[in-house]
Amino acid sequence: MKFGASTFIWVSPFSNKTLDLIGKVKDLGFDLIEICIEDPATIDTAAIGKRLAKEGMGATVCGAFGPDRDLSSDDPSICEKGVAYVKRCADIAHELGADIVVGPMYSAVGKTRMLSPEERKAQRALAAANIRLAADHAAKRGVRLAIEPLNRFETDMINTVEQGMALIDEIGRSNVGLLVDTFHMNIEEKNIPAALRKAGKHIFEFHACSSDRGTPGEDHLPWPEIAKALGEAGYDGAVVIEAFTPEIKEIARAVSIWRQLAKSQDALAGDGLRHLKSVFAKAA
Amino acid sequence: MFKYSYDALVYYGEDIAKSIGRVARFGYDAIELVGEPAKQDAKQIRSLCQEHDIAVSSICSIYSGVQRDLSAANPANRSKAVDYTKSVADFAAATGAPVMIVAPSPVGKMAPESDPKQEWEWAVKGIQDAADYAAPMGVKLCIEAWNRYETHFINRLSQCIELMKAVDRPNVGIMGDTFHMNIDDASIPDAIRKANGALIHIHFADSNRAAPGEGHLDFKPILRALKDIDYKGYITFELLPATSDPFGTLRSGGGREFFDDYTRQSIDVIKKIEAEL
């Protein structure tokens, strides 16, 4: 089992100014770093690739989806920007030697509206068609896409594993699967281990987040059962801690983090990793 | 023996007589009323409750919009929010409710408008004014925290306690809500134990805000914690549909299971767990 940490724990946006984070994440004991792409223009894949190689670190790529790159927007030009963005993320992944792009790529985060079943169906079909375009581009580069269900306060579209699987089915591409995140699952799933078993081979990435987005293990999630269920689902991908720094106001506001959730962001990642390594070793 | 009530909030748009009848039919001790005094007839509610032999447990105040913002930067709005809170206290007294909910900042306000310390002081002052008004009527105010997506102001029980201490009035306590606590309190039973002496009201909902049994919350340690602190208030079920705009869902005819089905299920599931303690 490989363990990763998201750049969102410490910085936003990631750029050449924050390259040292790669060494820090390695020193904390992680095998890979999840590089979050808020603006592809700040991403210098040559410099990042060089640093990854020097530190012997792997990478995954996470997309950030705001209203200007919405793959199910009513405005076709915004959909186009969304598709171009996911394609660019796939290129970045390929250039970094990563094989996956993750994120809630079906809509803009924070878009929560009341829709009729017909409107919802149309929005889902539009998202599926646009993700398919990006998926075919990614497939040629050996890159997979993982769609992330979000809780009800962040999206009206895909809140549960079941809804995520229906969308994947509609997309109909073998390089498209799910990113499951325990923070969102805690709010939306009736039974987290059962949902993981149900998602089975469709789980392409796993975000190990505490119920309050603080330190995994210092929360009320049933971690041993979660680790066991992931094993039963046949998952052998990365276990990635995602959290957000309250120090950067824009990102804190975007994900509703109003307080420090751990002693420090280093402690969140380090203590969380120790907990997860112990839980997954016992479940193996 | 705990006392149970069901929040009429989810019976959105329904005639109150029907709501009171349903809650009584499924064995509740009381009903929680929506805090919209101008739209309701306290006298009629009192006589309906007498007829069905149930009490009014509490008033679920509705803090939404700039004119119900106890920490608003605009003094006219702050004053209107205090007036609103006092009108709910009158409604509580008129319906015989011992407790009413108070919130320092309206739902959906996601950032302070001015200095956060100043806004905190305004909230303290507003709650004090309303509490002093409510005290002679025997009405208590309980401070509620909401999850991080509904307010930036207070999200956890420990923050409710901090605000309660700053308010420092004998008729002001705090409340919990297991839906919000599942997101923002690292341990629900621990948070309840730490609120010993302060907790005067609690809302129950499962992790997905549906009836207990529909989500993954383990209510046994939660009930045990309430028993350990000798909790004397009501356990009130406040359930809402799983959307960011639950009232929009109810308005468009969704959420029918929250009426008969979940009213029955909530009390049945929790009473069964209570019996196992």
Question: Which of B150, B214, B245 lies at the smallest CB-CB distance from A190?
Answer: B214
Question: Once rounded to an integer, what is the mean pLDDT over residues A77-104?
Answer: 98
Q: Which of A112, A220, A258 sits opposite B148 (nearest CB)?
A: A258
User: Does residue B110 belong to the interface with chain A, where contact is any CB pair within 8 Å?
Assistant: yes
* Ramachandran region, residue A213 (left: φ > 0; alpha: ψ -120 to 50; beta: rest): left
The pLDDT value recorded for residue A158 is 97
Identity of the residue numbered B136 = P
Q: What three-state secondary structure class fits B60?
A: strand
Number of folded domains that form chain A: 1
Nearest residue of chain B to residue A192 (CA atoms): B216
Q: SS3 string of A150-183?
A: CCCCCECCCCCHHHHHHHHHHHCCCCEEEEEEHH
- Asked if residue B203 lies in contact with residue B237, where contact means CB atoms within 8 angstroms, the answer is yes
* Chain A environment of B257 (Cβ under 8 Å): none
Q: How far is A55 from chain B (nearest CA, A)?
A: 35
Of B152, B182, B216, the CB nearest to A191: B216
A223-231 average pLDDT score: 98
* Model pLDDT, residue A232: 97
Domain housing A51: 2-283
Q: What is the mean pLDDT of residues A3-30?
A: 97
Per-residue pLDDT at A247:
87
Type of residue found at B18 = K
Q: How far apart are CA A28 and CA A268, in angstroms?
A: 11
Q: Answer yes or no: do A190 and B216 touch at CB < 8 A.
A: yes
What is the per-residue pLDDT across B157-177, written as a single tens digit (0 to 9) for each?
A: 999 999 999 999 999 999 999
Q: Which residues of B touch A212 (CB under 8 A)?
A: 183-186
The predicted structure's pLDDT at residue A87? 98
Mark yes or no for CB contact A156/B243 under 8 Å: yes
Phi-psi domain of A238 (left: phi exceeds 0; alpha: psi -120 through 50; beta: other): beta
Is the CB of residue B143 less than 8 Å from the CB of residue B103?
A: yes
Told to judge if A189 belongs to the known catalytic residues of this protein, a careful annotator would answer no
| B152:A258 CB<8 A | yes
> Token match 């959909």: residue?
A79
Domain CATH code at residue A122: 3.20.20.150
- Parse chain B into domains and list their residue ranges: 3-276
For residue B59, what are the CA distances in angstroms to A105, B23, B160? 41, 15, 18
CA nearest A218: which of B185, B135, B131, B106?
A: B185
CA distance B120 to chain A (A): 15
CA B179 to chain A, closest CA, distance in angstroms equals 8
Backbone region of residue B96 per phi and psi (left: phi > 0; alpha: psi in -120 to 50; beta: other values): left
CA distance B248 to chain A (A): 7
Q: Does B214 touch chain A (CB under 8 A)?
A: yes
Contact criterion met (CB < 8 Å) for B242 and A214 = no
Task: Tell me what the pLDDT averaged over chain A comes to.
Answer: 96
Task: Report the residue of chain B nearest A190, measured CA to CA.
Answer: B215
* Residue from A154, A188, A189, A242 carrying the catalytic annotation: A242
Shortest CA gap B217–chain A (Å): 9
B224 interface with A at CB cutoff 8 Å:
no
Alpha-carbon A218 to chain mean position: 21
ipTM for the complex shown = 0.93
Task: Check whether A252 has a pLDDT greater than 90.
Answer: no
Instruction: Quote the CA–CA distance of B250 and B254 in Å, as a whole number.
Output: 5
* pLDDT the model gives residue B253: 87
On whether the CB atoms of residues B10 and B258 are closer than 8 A, the answer is yes
> Pick from A156, A186, A259: which is nearest to B244 by CB?
A156
Q: Do B49 and B57 meet the contact criterion of CB atoms below 8 Å apart?
A: no
Quote the CATH superfamily of domain B3-276: Divalent-metal-dependent TIM barrel enzymes (3.20.20.150)
Separation in Å, CA of A219 to nearest CA in chain B: 5
Partner residue facing A258 (CB), from B155, B186, B215: B155
Three-class DSSP category at A32? strand
**Residues of chain B under the 50 pLDDT cut:** none
- In Å, how far are A88, B31, B40 from B44, measured between CA atoms? 64, 14, 9
**Least confident span in A112-116, A130-134, B55-59, B162-166:** A112-116
Q: In this structure, are residues A60 and A87 in contact, taking their beta carbons and an 8 Å threshold? A: no
pLDDT value, residue A161: 98
The Cα B277–Cα B272 span in angstroms is 9
HSE of B94 in the Cβ direction (CA atoms, 13 Å)?
A: 16
> Active site residue: A34, A148, A154, A205, which one?
A148
Other CB atoms closer than 10 Å to residue A115's CB: what's the count?
A: 15
Active-site residue flag, A95: no
Residue A262: closest CA among chain B residues belongs to which residue?
Answer: B186
The contact set of A with B (CB < 8 A) is: 112-114, 151-154, 156, 159, 186-192, 210-212, 214, 218-220, 253, 256-259
pLDDT digits (tens, 9 = 90+) for B59-107: 999 999 999 999 999 999 999 999 999 999 999 999 999 999 999 999 9
